[in-house]
Amino acid sequence: MRGRLLRAVLLGLACAAPAPALPADPPESSLQVLHWWTSASERRAAKVLATRLGEEGIEWKDNAVPGGAGLGAGKVLKSRVLAGDSPGATQIIGVSVGEWAELGLLRGFDSVAVAGNWNRVLFPTVYSLVQHDGHVVAAPLGIHRINTLFYNRKLFARLQLPPPANWSEFEQAARKLRAAGITPLVQSSEPWQVATLFENLVLAESGPEYYRQLFVRLNPQAAADKRLLQALTHLRTMKGWMQLPLEEQSWTDAVRRFARRDGAMLVMGDWAKAELNEWGYATDDEFSCAPMPGTAKLHLYSVDTLAMLGAEGSRMAAQEKLAKLVVTPAVQQQFNAAKGAVPVRRDADPSGMDSCARDSWTTFASGAAVQAPSLVHRMAADEQSRDAIIAEVHRYFMNDNVTEADVQRRLAAVLRALNSRRRN
């Protein structure tokens, strides 16, 4: 209901009668950019963009809103747009790009995409994520891999443990770590972080086809599937590998605990690698990453994108400059190295990347059949569907009295409701 109301108000704004023609304003020499990159490595990555934009004569006015996975930024963006004070550029990702575009609030920049050959240089999945109704409405920054298992390489070596490749090796590693007095897994109980484990487990258990039935097509029948039951059971098993009491921590705090050796493994998007590097832990020294067990050839992705807002012609040149520069090979390389992501370009050179990034980029490059869109990061479904599924999973995770059958029944009902909403 609230979503609908907001939609109606935003639509009203978008359709408001144009103001009478005034003399054109001079081109703006600064651009406000709203995003949720607030950790040390994220700030460094944003600074890469700010510096390059500065070299083009445009000042990057930073509007960073705290909140992992963009929880706070989404709210700030909506209220700013409602107040008629939209930032010139904003981080909006996945299905949300289409939602904002449908309201007529995003500036298209087909000419930038044509001049930069985006249809050829971008991975097809990325190119389709930045389009709406055949027009380019967002600029892609980088591809994150969500199915990443971080493990403490030194601890693993000491216990002669290989990184686990499947569920039974994962369980075995957890057992051995426990026996050695080490907490197997560091993880926060924040809802989106719990759901990160869950979407990983669904993918590991079933592969991209079933994953899409559940999270993209929101097929109620998929909720009754045995593979979902298995993923839930595994989620509860993994809860037993964590330190109690569970704590609802930010992702940076969870990474900090992993760095401090509070536990031997952590499942987190590869931005955690950038943060570890930033704090002086080099990849393949203290820690390494491996694909989440059972997903070696798969890529659970989240693509960061920037969209441009506001109808003012005076902003257009600055917005187009930003859109153009983020896709250039040099910025792609620099930004993604700082962010822990990989380039959106098919012509990137994987030989200069670290082991995590190389595996991520080459796996993604092997094509759509191995790719799965992250529900948590809005790549699979709209905000309301995402939130409803995350709430059910979180409730199950927090309360051991909730049974798998309960969740399956409730999820089927949620998916049925979401589907009927889609049809209306």
Task: Give residues in contact with ligand GAL (CB under 6 A).
Answer: 36-37, 42, 68-70, 93, 144, 251, 269, 271, 302, 304, 377
Which contiguous run of DSSP H or E holds residue 62? strand 59-64
Q: How far is the CB of 376 from ligand GAL (least distance, A)?
A: 8
Task: Please name which of 243, 252, 247 lies closest in space to residue 272, comparing C-alpha atoms.
Answer: 252
349-357 CB contacts, 8 Å cutoff, 24+ apart: 354/273, 354/283, 354/284, 355/283, 355/284, 355/288, 355/289, 356/145, 356/148, 356/270, 356/273, 356/283, 356/288, 356/289, 357/270
Nearer to ligand GAL, 325 or 338 (CB): 338
Q: What residue is closest to ligand GAL based on CB?
A: 68
Q: How far is the CB of 8 from ligand GAL (least distance, A)?
A: 27
Length of the chain equals 424
Q: How far is the CB of 418 from ligand GAL (least distance, A)?
A: 21
Nearer to ligand GAL, 76 or 229 (CB): 76
Nearer to ligand GAL, 130 or 222 (CB): 130
Q: How far is the CB of 304 from ligand GAL (least distance, A)?
A: 5
Report d(CA 134, CA 128) in Å as an integer: 9
Nearer to ligand GAL, 63 or 183 (CB): 63
Q: How far is the CB of 266 from ligand GAL (least distance, A)?
A: 14
Residue at 277: amino acid letter? N
Q: How far is the CB of 336 from ligand GAL (least distance, A)?
A: 11
Strand, helix or coil at 315? helix
SS (H, E, C) 70-122: HHHHHHHHHHHHHCCCCCCEEECCCHHHHHHHHCCCECCCHHHHHHCCHHHHE
Nearer to ligand GAL, 210 or 271 (CB): 271
Nearer to ligand GAL, 142 or 220 (CB): 142
